[in-house]
């Protein structure tokens, strides 16, 4: 299973994805720099990613804590998520996300 | 416990950079080895990430503590190190480190505190907490002139046309505090919901309703101006429409981020912004400078609080040989050593004997 990550230069990377891992961990394990300063505890907003619009509606909705924490991110849109709060499942095979400024 | 600029250098055995859990526990381990400490931290409170990032979040992997919050862990460590009377220099950044000709180190903070210490313990975690800077090209040219991430003197904002960005307590508090003296205050936030205290949000909404403050729901996406003077801020709304909104001052409050900061210039070897150490005593490439906790790296390193505690204990054993070269290191348990219990102030607990 895989996810596709677009980095800040616009380059797409195919990353091996593991079930139950967060998208933040998959990005980090794939060797792509991502700040994720709080280590995945939804406390810093430095793993901000944009989910590709083709995946709109296919992900579990963010909880209140994640939405609140996104206030500490920049250029937040309807596609914005915190990668540490997205848990990868087989339904998300092929997920496309793009790193946001402020997360690298 | 806190001081301002010192006239003559403070003399101490060890200066610890960073008052997070590892820095605090280092006070304990050093204290058991008769080593006095001063601590420097950029935050205005001890606890490091535990205090700043997850004060209310649970931690489950502290040995023998099934669960505690970041605040509770900090409070317990503060209680544990009380017998050693450490001195805290809070709200100050360790700015420069110089080798003293007679041995030891001189650490200077950005507040002008000067500390001469025989040992330096770097327990700086992920680095210094500094305000998040919006990822906007060229914004650094405006910082400190017309773009700010903190308010030091309110008076400098009198009569200004201010945009305050953010939805938390800092943003709301400053929007409310500056409103009476500013020419105009506009609050911008990405959504029409605020995490700030409900009371502040209520006051802000009342001012907006009275026409005394403006509220725009948009992202801060750019700025325009010249020579460090902002003329307008670019706002992008939900429908991705961009508008340039006139203002002469921008205050942005997006929380804090960690940056290695001046420690990078201390002359130590660095590997991906971490300090390599040996795992026998956690000394760096420079003798008498140690690095413990998240800031260090070595084969197999795990960034856990408990790793930092272990590192503090081994560091203190080596530190003893520097501070007390005339004494023989004696390995003791706090459970059985009346010597250690004396240092902890629990030596003569006659109430227990009586019971």
Render pLDDT for B32-73 as a digit per residue (tens, 0 to 9): 999 999 999 999 999 999 999 999 999 999 999 999 999 999
Contact A43 B126 (CB under 8 A): no
Q: What is the pLDDT of residue B35?
A: 98
Query: In the β-sheet with A80-82, what is the strand arrangement from edge to edge?
Result: A12-16, A2-6, A95-99, A48-51, A80-82
pLDDT range class, residue B7, cuts 50, 70, 90: low
Token digits for B353?
């004997």
pLDDT range class, residue B89, cuts 50, 70, 90: very high
For residue B284, give every residue at least 6 positions away whose Cβ sits within 8 Å of its Cβ, in sequence order, or none: B122, B268, B269, B275, B276, B277, B290, B291
Contact B190 A38 (CB under 8 A): no
pLDDT tens readout for residues B143-191: 999 999 999 999 999 999 999 999 999 999 999 999 999 999 999 999 9
Length of chain A, in residues: 104
Which residues in A lie closer than 8 A to residue B220 (C-beta atoms)?
A: 74
Locate tokens 């992008």: which residue? Answer: B236
The architecture in CATH of the region B10-129+257-344 reads: 3-Layer(bba) Sandwich (3.50)
Which residues in B lie closer than 8 A to residue A104 (C-beta atoms)?
A: none
Output B261-265 pairs: Cβ under 8 A, ≥24 positions apart.
B261/B42, B261/B93, B261/B124, B261/B127, B261/B128, B261/B130, B262/B93, B262/B94, B262/B95, B262/B96, B262/B128, B263/B17, B263/B94, B263/B122, B263/B124, B263/B127, B263/B128, B263/B295, B265/B96
As assigned by CATH, the class of the B133-254 domain is alpha beta
How large is the average pLDDT for residues B327-341? 95
Contact A71 B195 (CB under 8 A): yes
**Residue range(s) occupied by CATH 3.50.50.60 in chain B:** 10-129+257-344, 133-254
Contact B236 A46 (CB under 8 A): no
Q: Which residue of A has its CA nearest to B50?
A: A38
pLDDT tens readout for residues B286-308: 999 999 999 999 999 999 999 99
The tens-digit pLDDT sequence of chain A (104 residues) is: 999 999 999 999 999 999 999 999 999 999 999 999 999 999 999 999 999 999 989 999 999 999 999 999 999 999 999 999 999 999 999 999 999 998 98
Test mutation, B190, B191, B222, B253, chain A, max A CBs within 10 A: B190
Distance from CA of A41 to the nearest CA of B (A): 8
ipTM above 0.90, yes or no: yes
Contact, B305 vs B59, CB < 8 A? Answer: yes
Which residues in B lie closer than 8 A to residue A8 (C-beta atoms)?
A: none
Q: What is the pLDDT of residue B354?
A: 45
Q: Please name which of A82, A80, A83, A90 lies closest in space to residue A20, comparing C-alpha atoms.
A: A90
> How many A-B residue pairs are in contact by the CB < 8 A criterion?
53
Q: Which residue of A has its CA nearest to B168?
A: A71
pTM equals 0.90
Residue B19 vs residues B49, B86, B293: alpha-carbon distances, Å: 10, 11, 11
Instruction: Tell me the domains of chain A and their CATH numbers.
Output: 2-99 (3.10.20.30)
| Cα distance between residue B222 and residue B134, in whole Å | 9
Q: Please name which of B295, B333, B329 lies closest in space to residue B312, comparing C-alpha atoms.
A: B295
Q: What is the pLDDT of residue B1?
A: 45
Q: Is residue A63 less than 8 Å (CB to CB) from chain B? A: no
Test mutation, B61, B149, B195, B272, chain A, max A CBs within 10 A: B195
pLDDT range class, residue B348, cuts 50, 70, 90: low
- Nearest-5° angle of CA A43, CA B47, CA A85? 15
| Cα distance between residue B333 and residue B335, in whole Å | 5
């Amino acid at each position: 299973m895989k996810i596709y990550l677009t980095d800040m230069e616009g380059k797409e990377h195919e990353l091996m994805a593991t079930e139950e891992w967060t998208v933040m961990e998959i990005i980090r394990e794939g060797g792509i720099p991502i700040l994720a300063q709080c280590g995945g505890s939804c406390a810093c907003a430095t793993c901000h990613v944009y989910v590709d619009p083709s995946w709109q509606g296919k992900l579990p909705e963010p909880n209140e804590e994640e939405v609140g924490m996104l206030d500490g991110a920049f250029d937040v849109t309807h596609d914005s998520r915190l990668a540490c709060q997205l848990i990868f499942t087989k339904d998300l095979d092929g997920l496309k996300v793009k790193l946001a400024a402020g997360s690298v | 416990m806190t001081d301002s600029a010192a006239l003559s250098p403070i003399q101490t055995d060890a200066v610890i950079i960073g008052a997070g859990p590892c820095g605090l526990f280092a006070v304990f381990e050093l204290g058991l080895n008769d080593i006095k400490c001063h601590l420097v931290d950029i935050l205005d409170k001890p606890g490091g990430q535990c205090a700043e990032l997850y004060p209310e979040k649970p931690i489950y992997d502290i040995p023998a503590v099934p669960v505690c919050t970041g605040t509770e862990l900090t409070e317990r460590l503060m209680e544990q190190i009380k017998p050693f009377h450490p001195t805290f220099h809070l709200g100050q950044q360790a700015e420069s480190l110089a080798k003293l000709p007679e041995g030891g180190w001189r650490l200077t903070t950005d507040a002008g505190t000067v500390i001469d210490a025989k040992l330096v313990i770097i327990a700086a975690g992920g680095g210094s907490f500094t305000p998040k800077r919006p990822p906007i090209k060229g914004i650094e040219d405006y910082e400190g002139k017309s773009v700010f991430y903190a308010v030091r003197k309110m008076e400098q904002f009198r009569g200004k046309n201010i945009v305050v960005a953010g939805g938390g307590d800092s943003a709301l508090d400053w929007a409310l505090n500056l409103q009476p003296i500013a020419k105009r205050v506009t609050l911008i936030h990405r959504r029409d919901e605020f995490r700030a205290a409900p009371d502040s949000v209520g006051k802000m909404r009342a001012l907006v309703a009275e026409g005394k403050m403006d509220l725009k729901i948009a992202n801060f996406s750019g700025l325009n101006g010249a020579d460090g003077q902002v003329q307008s801020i670019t706002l992008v709304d939900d429908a991705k429409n961009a508008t340039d909104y006139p203002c002469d001052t921008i205050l942005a409050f997006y929380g804090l981020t960690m940056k290695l900061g001046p420690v990078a210039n201390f002359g130590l070897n660095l590997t991906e912004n971490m300090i390599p150490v040996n795992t026998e005593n956690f000394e760096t490439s420079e003798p008498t400078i140690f690095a413990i906790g998240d800031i260090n790296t070595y084969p197999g390193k795990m960034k856990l609080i408990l790793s930092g505690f272990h590192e503090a204990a081994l560091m203190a054993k080596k530190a003893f040989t520097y501070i007390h070269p005339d004494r023989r290191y004696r390995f003791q348990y706090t459970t059985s050593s009346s010597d250690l219990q004396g240092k902890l102030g629990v030596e003569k607990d006659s109430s227990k004997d009586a019971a």
